[in-house]
Amino acid sequence: MRLLLFVLSFSVIGFSHAQTTASAVDRRDYSNEIKFNAATAVAELFEISYERIMNDDMGLGGSLAYFSDENLNYRGSILPFFRFYPGEKRRAAGLFFEVNSGVIFSQNDEFYYVEDGIIRQEEGENFVSFGFGVAVGGKFISRTGLFGEIYVGLGREFVDESFVEAYPRVGLNFGYRF
């Protein structure tokens, strides 16, 4: 009888340990995010971003933006960013502060002038410039991995020849954490 109770107790302990181990193996890391900026898409600025969650309170990512309106100087950007999440409720969620550096693509206006009664047109110049910016926002995550975030910020560009002196960092992003 003792032997039966002994074997039974070890079996129960073994099965319960196996179930916790299996659930720990099945649990995913959820450290990657892909997102689309819906707020800037309304203004014909298409932006897609990726963020890698490094630990509970910080993440690194990058954003690619392309402006399809030919009438403005701003053409697009590549923005690597670092985010700090001071909240402790969920992993990399809630309030965040962002620092970004930008590679900004711009084009100056085309010039029209009259010389000897003839209208001439000069092609606009393309510029690549660099800048740094900050933003503040919030991220709201569901249990299924879908999330939304809203943020606002501004960056300053440091090349004098370019016609874009500042770049916006605004967004209403929707994405998926996997």
pLDDT for 81-91, tens place per residue?
999 999 878 89
Task: Supply the pLDDT for residue 20.
Answer: 46
Question: Which option is the CATH number for 29-177: 2.40.160.20, 3.40.190.10, 1.20.120.720, 1.10.510.10?
Answer: 2.40.160.20
Give the pLDDT confidence of 116-133 residue by residue, as tens digits.
Answer: 766 666 667 788 889 999
Domain extents in the chain: 29-177
Give the pLDDT confidence of 25-49 residue by residue, as tens digits.
Answer: 334 578 999 999 999 999 889 999 9
| pLDDT band for position 68 (cuts 50, 70, 90) | confident
Q: 125-129 — which CB contacts under 8 Å span 24+ positions?
A: 126/75, 127/159, 127/161, 127/162, 127/163, 127/164, 128/103, 128/104, 128/159, 129/103, 129/104, 129/157, 129/158, 129/159, 129/161, 129/162, 129/164
pTM greater than 0.85 (yes/no): no
